[in-house]
């Protein structure tokens, strides 16, 4: 899942769709020291708005070409007030106990579907 930082206009907030240029996303990836990653329609993203609220979204489509191309990202209600990995208020993150279960390997099965 890719983190995308953006600023939304009032119209984008109401419609739940953001327009992020390819060059803007690449600049963000360089600044964070991440490898370049091109998004495709259907990819999940975390949309951080104005350095604050984080929304879960997905790439609807690609528009334009070359340096003027952009991603159209649909998003829903805010899921967090800060980006993941951020240190909110100077407090250390809370770590909870995690229980892992191992599922034994299952024998391969074939399934026939008839319509």
pLDDT tens digits, one per residue of 61-95? 999 877 788 999 999 888 876 655 554 444 445 55
* 59: CB partners within 8 A, 6+ apart: 39, 40, 41, 42, 43, 45, 71, 72, 73
In a domain, 14, yes or no: yes
Rounded to 5 degrees, φ, ψ at 35 are -70, 155
In a domain, 107, yes or no: no
In a domain, 114, yes or no: no
Please answer whether residues 39 and 24 qualify as being in contact, where contact means their C-beta atoms are separated by less than 8 angstroms. no
In a domain, 9, yes or no: yes
* Band of residue 1 on the pLDDT scale cut at 50, 70, 90: confident
Domains held by the chain: number: 1
In a domain, 72, yes or no: yes
What confidence score (pLDDT) does residue 91 get? 47
CATH code of the domain containing 48:
2.40.240
Task: Give dist(CA 34, CA 32) in Å, integer.
Answer: 6
Range of the domain at 61: 2-79
In a domain, 67, yes or no: yes
């Amino acid at each position: 899942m890719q983190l995308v930082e953006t600023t939304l206009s009032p119209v984008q907030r109401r419609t739940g769709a953001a327009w992020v240029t390819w060059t803007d996303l690449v600049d963000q990836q360089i600044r964070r020291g991440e490898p370049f990653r091109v998004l495709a329609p259907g990819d999940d993203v975390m949309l951080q708005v104005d350095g604050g609220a984080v929304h879960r979204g997905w790439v609807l489509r690609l528009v334009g070409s070359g340096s003027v191309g952009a991603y159209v990202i649909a998003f829903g209600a805010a899921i967090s007030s800060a980006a993941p990995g951020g240190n909110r208020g100077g407090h250390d993150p809370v770590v909870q106990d995690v229980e892992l279960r191992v599922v034994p390997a299952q024998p391969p099965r074939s399934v026939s579907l008839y319509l």
